[in-house]
Structure 1
Amino acid sequence: MNKPEHTQPEKIDLRSMDVAEEKRGELKRSLGQAFPDIFAEGSIDFDQLKRALGEWVDPGKERFGLNWPGKAECMKIIQQPSPATLRPEREKSANFDEAENVFVEGDNLEVLKLLQKAYFGKVKLIYIDPPYNTGNEFIYPDNFTETLETYLAYTGQVDDERKRFSTNTDQSGRYHSRWMNMMFPRLYLARNLLRDDGAIFISIDDNEVHNLRALMDQIFGEENFVATIIWQKVYAPKNSAKFFSDDHDYILVYARNSDQWKPELLERTPEQDALYKNPDKDQRGPWMSDNLTARNFYGEGSYEVTGPSGKKFTPGKGRYWPVSQSKFNDLNADGRIWWGVSGDSMPRYKRYLSEVSAGRVPQTLWKYEEVGHTQDAKRELNKYVPYEETENTLNSVKPVNLIRRMIKIATKSDGDIVLDFFAGSGTTGQAVIEQSLDDGIRRRFIMVQLPEELPKPEANFKTISDFARARVKNVIAASQSDLLKKDSHGRGFRSFALDSSNFRSWDGGVSTSSDLESQLQLHVDHLRDAGEPEDVLYELLLKSGFPLATKVVKIDLNGAEVFSIEEGALLICLSKEITPELIDALAEANPLQVICLDEGFKGNDQLKTNAVQTFKARAQAEESEIVFKTV
């Protein structure tokens, strides 16, 4: 039986990715071959899966796991697609058209949903410095079920009365639960964005490190836990401490897939190289001696050896030579055994500097001498953000070298994306720019920050996101000559703001004939009056799965302005007067996909049908395919 021929264009889904549907598809792809009988009519038969595994779990039995009040509601929030958009802000950007870095101002939960289609599985490194839940820094939306509306009210975009987000004080009920409810959906969505060889680094302190570890085990899987890093954040003890001076923070590290992720080696230090000497003037160069016995039993590792002085040696009680006697003799003949200056010392293995790895394995103790401390962080902020009020000093800011070390460990290739969705004053942006200039690897950042108001108003800055943009602009200005030589696309960023969709949504709950007539009109013309062409363009790009840094070129086709994406692979026409001649011109350009406004057809279904046929004929002539969509 032949499939019916499509005579109308496809419709674009203006919602963010349906995370639950994506997970069902992933589950089916993973288990479909082994358990085809558990999938029926688009749903999953979990009872059948239990039977197939020979198991039965009594719902009344207690099971080990992490639970807290509000967890079920978190899953509803995750699965609720976002109808919002990210509106470009050229005036707040730097080198918008050429930039490949992205800054987004908005509630990070909503923004993470909007990033799912375009960045699913594309981010190499996520670093976040979330609120530490100390009782006075934890700001989050009150109403988790209406995140966009809550955000718009918070930023004063829906009424005259600006509404503050709540602060989670330690006197409030469910103190830890509220923090978990804030973190869970954000981390869940963030995991989707990581590449299989990607990793996430999270700064945290003692207040929530235990809960965060349990939360990450559940979202990422405890098999993907990599390390808990201890960062020495201060250089002097606090004598005012009630019990102990709080000298460190933690950084939790999880891989998206520990089988595919491995850390990059750090550069060797002069102190490490200084340990290698050459007292015997060995032609192979400097070396250091290493223990030549081990505790692990080795069947051929119990024998006696004789040194140059005639003195005899055995491994000692409970220890063994790690090589056979034949191999030992070969090493000795090759000059790789050190018997001491007088030739009468316990033999040791000579490890040559020329043969060791070019780098060093990262360790879990990061001292302030290597990666900076909190005072360094404040000095760096002061250098690039000329704020006036001392009350606006951000106490939670991190030093640039701390984040640069994470970048060195977790990224290695041009185009690697670094995401920070608790961006604060923009330290991650500075770290990406400086590290990329230092080692020549062209990384890109995406930063997301809530426009949280500063403690005290200033003439040039109103919010923390203003700090972040100013910081990155000034870092770019200070590095302009190097950026022009090494990384022209890194000398800027595109700024976006979370906002309502440019399109009116269809309401299926209409009840009167006048309501129905109004909704039917929206079906033809559902573009909001305030929607600027570029605003509409980037909403369509994002919701069609194109990154926010995608290169866009304006071209003229039959007198109409058309946006050309990916060198003409996608053409977006926002004209409100679509003609047969314009359709012919779009087809002649031979794109892979064309998107037009419904409004441009003026309700003329015949013109749409003719457009479908025109694109089909052109594709057949070129032995290709042109996907035609309307919105």
Structure 2
Amino acid sequence: MEKLRMHSPDLTQANIDSIAALFPTVVTETRTCTDISGAHTHSRDCYVKAVDFDLLRQELSDRVVDGPQERYQLDWPGKREALFVANAPIAKTLRPAREESVDFDTTKNVFIEGDNLDVLKLLQESYLGKVKLIYIDPPYNTGNDFIYDDDFAESTNEYLERSGQVAAGGRLVANPEANGRFHSDWLSMMYPRLKLARDLLAENGAIFMSIDDNEVDSLKALASEVFGATNFVAQIIWQKVYAPKNSAQWFSEDHDYIVVFARNKAAFSLNRLPRTAEMEARYKNPDNDPRGPWKAADMSARNRYDAGVYAVTTPSGRLIPGPPTGRYWVIDEARFRALDADRRIWWGTDGSNAPAVKKFLSEVAAGRTPQTLWPYDEVGHTQDAKKTLLKYVPFQHTENVLNSVKPVQLLQRVLQLATRPDTHDIVLDFFGGSATTAHAVLEQNRTDGGNRSFISVTFNEPLPKPEPTFGTIFEMGTERIRNVAAEITAELATSGAVDTGFRVLRVDSTNIADTLHTADGTDQLTLDLTADSIKADRSGEDLLFEVLLTWGLAMDLPIEPIMLGSARAFDVDSGTLVACFASAVEDSVVRAAAERKPLRVVFLDSSFSDDASRINAEQIFREVSPDTEFKVI
């Protein structure tokens, strides 16, 4: 009977396994354990697979490798440690908070409270390659904001053991410019998060990252390393203010950037933006052409085109010996004659103008090509953002109003370009802050009837002063979305449905109790306390969500409480998983679960009275539902 692994995947070992499949000769073993004196021990558990990097370099070179070579790369103090923390597993879970959620059983939206590094690790298997769009608004590293302080000074085993019981890293600390590692600390914070985020993106997905001049060059170089320089899409300029700041010492900083990278640029495409009323007004129909409104396009251009030199005669009889000096007709003479016969050449109201080609509105592309300059009158500015936040969040203390909040219109523009309304696209923001991205998803779904869903991740950072109904930035974000949802629900009560609910999940230590003790530290009382491997304060729903993570199932799947004989259980997504965490399981319960023929089933290991009961349970499933994957925790 196989037990579920109850911690996030060890990405280092997964990478080693992948290398071993290609180059088996470069994989070796190394000792990781020492005794109290510091000497190596020889326990079998102390040996792990490792890569001989000298051999690997030789395998990947067409000449003898003598030593390190100079090469183009981004480097900074702490980069290796940042890579380690990205790959190290954690023994943590996501615990549901049903009472803080809205439409918990039916919604596809998820709010997660916790360190975003932990969350990105926990979501690796459940959302691998499933996220269509990631938008982040990370700390800009201005010297006045905060960054995550991750703990690098541990081995993988130490990190895994400790992080299962104590909140590791994730502390928000000031990063003043006087810090000797000012840029390095910011890069070390961003690197593991971007590396993990890349794996969550769908093949045709993209990440949009807001930033300003302080770190835009560093961010672009870092993203080029993580996503590949060939997957750079654009660096957008957003005009964030509507008036210059006269108090500026040198220049008024009127813009921020949005840096865009695709997971795979060859598979990624942008949607076109709707045409504006001003653009459509340029199309008219002065000659009552039955094909509808059109606008005239110059028939000449400066690019050399030898077939584009010929004389034309206007309907009024005026001879035009050729295109203007230094220019060429853009079509050859035969094509010109065919267009003229089809009334697609405009000669002016009196028939004597130089020829122009009619471009019919009905024949042009359905939208406009997006540009890299986004003016505030199209996507909003910082004052719009604050007004929107104040509309939906009942602040009593001015110092709690965030200054770095983004306008909802800006995020809606990103959604219009990178997602579709009808493909159930998942949108992730792991610097969720005041929940602007979540707000934009709901608004865009209201606008176009879409079915996008969001995952918003925010650290539990306290506000300067507690408000009457919330005290942290995370709680502020959920308060905002509750009020937005109430408005949308009231508006669409009779005209349609938008998913305005959300599940609240919190990062916490694993539900599995710490049962690791040395022989010297174990007595009868300790043995009695460790008989049950599940922590006493954890519910069946807590266990269920850790099982979902471990089995790589999404956090938004529908959950139905069921009865298996006399035992309570959960049916996830109509048979994708049946989970029963009853303290004692009889054969009748096992048979009732098997008769539902689920894809997966999980029980508590301790719920079986002895080995014979476990073996019998497996036998029942082999007889009744042989295709079910059977595991215990």
Q: TM exceeds 0.5?
A: yes
Give the letter for the 2:397 counterpart.
E
| 1:104-503 → structure 2 map (5 Å cutoff) | 104-141=112-149, 143-144=151-152, 165-308=172-315, 309-316=317-324, 319-412=327-420, 413-485=422-494, 488=497, 490-503=499-512
Comparing 577-586 with 115-124, greater Cα deviation is found at: 577-586
RMSD: 2.9
Alpha-carbon distance in 1 for matches of 2:13, 2:352: 72
Equivalent residue letter for 1:496: L
Aligned position for 1:617: 623
SS class of match (1:126): strand
Distance 1:49 1:345, change over 3 A: farther
Helix, strand or coil: the match of 2:249? coil
Unaligned runs of 5+ in 1: 1-8
- The answer as to whether partners of 2:425 and 2:453 remain within 8 angstroms in 1 is yes
- CA pair 429-63 structure 1, distance change in 2 beyond 3 A: same
Q: Report the Cα offset of residue 26 of structure 1.
A: 6.4
Cα deviation code 1:41-63 (max 9, x no counterpart):
88878746755763555533311
Aligned length: 605
Of 554, 564, 578, the residue aligned with 1:557 is: 564
Letter in 2 for 1:111: V
Deviations 1:178-199 (A, max 9, x none): 1101111111111111111111
Could you give the per-residue CA deviations for residues 513-545 of structure 1, whole angstroms, max 9, x where no partner exists? 444989987886311111111111111112211
SS of the aligned residue for 1:165 comes to: strand
Secondary structure (helix, strand or coil) at the match of 2:125 reads: helix
In structure 2, relative to structure 1, the CA distance for the partners of 1:313 and 1:56 (3 Å cut) is farther
Moved more, 562-571 or 443-452: 562-571
- The question of 1:10 aligning with 2:2 is answered yes
* Per-residue deviation, residues 54-85 of structure 1 (Å, max 9, x unmatched): 35555333111100011000111011012111
1:260/1:408 CA distance change after superposition, 3 Å? same
State yes or no: 1:629 paired with 2:631: yes
1:79-90 pair list within 5 angstroms? 79-90=87-98
Q: Is the 8 A contact 2:380 2:410 kept in 1?
A: yes
1:96 Cα shift? 1.3
Residue 101 of structure 1: aligned partner: 109
Aligned to 2:40: none
Q: In structure 2, do the counterparts of structure 1 residues 36 and 51 end up closer, same or farther at CA, with 3 Å as the change threshold?
A: closer
Deviations 1:443-462 (A, max 9, x none): 10000001111122322221
Inter-partner Cα distance in structure 1 for 2:170 and 2:220: 33
Task: Find the counterpart in structure 1 of residue 86 from structure 2.
Answer: 78
Q: Is the 8 A contact 2:602 2:630 kept in 1?
A: yes
2:549 corresponds to = 542
Q: Secondary structure at the match of 1:571?
A: strand
Q: Which residue of 1 aligns with 2:538?
A: 531
Task: For 2:425, give the aligned amino acid.
Answer: D
Q: Tell me, yes or no, if the aligned pair for 1:82 and 1:110 is still in contact at 8 Å.
A: yes
- Per-residue Cα deviation, 1:187-212 (whole angstroms, up to 9, x for no partner): 11111111111111111000000100
TM-score, with normalisation over the residues of structure 2?
A: 0.89
Q: Distance in 1 between matches of 2:431 and 2:526?
A: 39
Secondary structure of the residue aligned to 1:445 is strand
SS of 1:139's partner is strand
Shift of 1:398: 0.6
Post-superposition shift, 1:419? 0.6
1:617, CA displacement in angstroms? 1.5
**Which deviates the most, 283-292 or 203-212?**
283-292
DSSP-derived class of the 1:198 partner = strand
**Quick one: which amino acid aligns to residue 67 of structure 1?**
D
Q: Hey, what's the Cα distance between the residues in 1 that align with 2:466 and 2:2?
A: 49
- Structure 2 unpaired stretches of 5+: 29-48
User: Letter of the aligned partner of 1:12 in structure 2?
Assistant: L
CA apart distance, 1:324: 2.4
Letter in 2 for 1:431: A
Tell me: CA distance 1:216–1:440, structure 2 relative to 1, closer, same or farther (3 Å). Answer: same
By how many angstroms is 1:313 displaced? 3.9
Alignment CA distance shift 1:74-1:513 (3 Å) = same
CA deviations 1:268-301 (Å, max 9, x no partner) are 1000001112223322222112222344444533
**1:164 Cα deviation after fit:** 6.2
Shift of residue 215, structure 1, vs aligned partner: 0.6
CA distance in 2, matches of 1:148, 1:314: 80
Counterpart Cα distance in 2 of 1:484 and 1:582: 43
Question: Deviation of residue 426 (structure 1)?
Answer: 0.9
Quote how far apart the aligned CAs of 1:343 are.
3.2
Q: Distance in 2 between matches of 1:163 and 1:107?
A: 5
How far 1:362 moved relative to its partner? Answer: 1.1
- Secondary structure of 1:379 counterpart: helix
**Matched residue of 1:300: which SS?**
helix
Q: What's the secondary structure of 2:120's corresponding residue? A: helix
Q: Greater CA deviation, 37-46 or 62-71?
A: 37-46
% of aligned pairs identical?
47
Equivalent position SS for 2:292:
coil
Give the Cα–Cα distance (whole angstroms) in 1 for the partners of residues 363 and 493 of structure 2: 38
1:241-286 deviation line (CA, Å, top 9, x unaligned): 0001111110111111111111111111000001112223322222
Q: Taking structure 1 as reference, are residues 55 and 369 closer, same or farther at Cα in structure 2, changes over 3 Å only?
A: farther
Bigger mean CA deviation after superposition, 198-207 or 520-529: 520-529
Residue 398 of structure 1 aligns to a residue whose secondary structure is: coil
* Secondary structure in structure 2 of the residue aligned to 1:490: coil
Greater mean deviation of Cα atoms: 607-616 or 196-205: 607-616
Greater CA drift, 451-460 or 237-246? 451-460
Task: Check whether the contact 2:140–2:215 (CA below 8 A) recurs between aligned residues.
Answer: yes
Distance of 1:203 and 1:343 partners within structure 2: 53
Of residues 244-253 and 278-287 in structure 1, the stretch that sits farther from structure 2 once superposed is: 278-287
1:306·1:312 contact (CA, 8 Å) conserved in 2?
A: yes
